[in-house]
Amino acid sequence: MFMLAGIVVLHITTVILLLVATIDNAWWVTGTASTDLWGRWELTSSDWHYYNLQNYPQDYLQSVQGTVVLACVFTILALFVFLAQLFTLPKGQRFIFTGILQLIACLCIMTAASVYTAKFHTNDDTKGGYGHSYILAWISFVLTLLLTVTYLILRKSE
């Protein structure tokens, strides 16, 4: 009972972290700017302004965008499939379908974070650091991996 509640809470937490990592434009943060994935916020004289991303390799940026969105979609799908399988799975069986969906989500967020690390901000020109969205992306990778292993091992009882 508690394990079930714990797994559901963990899954919901993962969904929330992934959504924040996807939506919030804070993969790279400098003193006056917070940028990435969708746009760039710049602080000019105590006012924040939103700009489009320029001079980024478009194909890599769009592949990061696509895979990070897919990670969110698959995690949310896995949550619903898990809740459905709680009622429909025969006793003693594993949550394979949920595990596979969560595995795909894990691979997607890993791809997104890796491509971003390898291809963006590789030369230290803007004197900034990785922002909270980037950190949350890697944390979500760990959590999705944990959840995948959980679903592939857990057996349904009662």
Residues in Cβ contact with 126 at an 8 Å cutoff, skipping those fewer than 6 apart? 28, 30, 33
- Secondary structure class of 41 (helix, strand, coil): strand
Q: Whole-number minimum distance, CB 127 to another protein, in Å?
A: 27
Question: Cα–Cα distance between 89 and 91 in angstroms, integer?
Answer: 6
Taking the complex as a whole, the smallest distance from the CB of residue 92 to another protein amounts, in Å, to: 6
Rounded Cα distance, 22 and 124, in Å: 24
88: left (phi over 0), alpha (psi -120 to 50) or beta: alpha
Residue closer to another protein by CB (options 43, 96) is 96
In the complex with another protein, which residue's Cβ is closer, 15 or 71?
Answer: 71
Least separation in angstroms between CB 46 and another protein: 30
SS (H, E, C) 105-146: HHHHHHHHHHHHHHHCCCCCCCCCEECHHHHHHHHHHHHHHH
Nearer to another protein, 46 or 58 (CB): 58
- Output the smallest distance, CB 52 to another protein, in A: 8
Interacting residue ranges for another protein, rule: CB under 8 A: 58-59, 62-63, 65-67, 69-70, 73, 90-93, 96
**Toward another protein, which CB reaches closer, 19 or 69?**
69
| Helix and strand totals (H; E) in the chain | 4, 5
- By beta-carbon proximity to another protein, the closer residue of 30 and 63 is 63
CB of 65 to another protein, least distance (A): 4
